[in-house]
Amino acid sequence: MDAVSSLPSLNDLLRQNPNLNPQKFSSKLNGENHLPNGISSSSLGGPPLIDKTTAVDRVTAPGFSDMFEKFVRGVDHKKKVSAKETQDLILGRSDNIHEAVVKSEESKVAFNLMIEVRNKLVDSYKELMRMQV
């Protein structure tokens, strides 16, 4: 009990920190807060009107199929770069074995990631089909 009795009271905390003044918050709750230039919020009327946008004004985000297609194209590009690096190394056009191995591993990791994403998508689809409506 000694540790609890040594704590400051609520009134002491309120006096030490002016930001915790309950009167400050109650005036805002009553709608008496004022905006800059002396305008009170109660004189503004209702909520602001929102302009409706037309279909032409809306910006559409790329769909999931576009995103997945871009991902697959990226994996394919990595595979082609890896094949070219390996071919250049075999034909003697390049002597940088390190770069060829790195490109090959990048291609392998990207392909494995694509397979795992595909598997997760198939599992998710199966789970949705098992759900009862």
Annotated domain spans of the chain: 64-130
pLDDT at 40: 56
Contacting residues for 41 by C-beta, under 8 A, at least 6 apart: 31, 33, 34, 35
Tens digits of residue pLDDT in 1-51: 555 556 666 666 667 666 656 565 555 545 445 555 555 555 556 666 666
Please tell me what DSSP assigns to residue 38.
G
Tens digits of residue pLDDT in 76-101: 999 999 999 999 999 999 899 999 99
Separation of CA 60 from chain center: 18
* 21 or 63: which leads in pLDDT: 63
User: Rounded CA gap, 73 and 80, in Å?
Assistant: 10
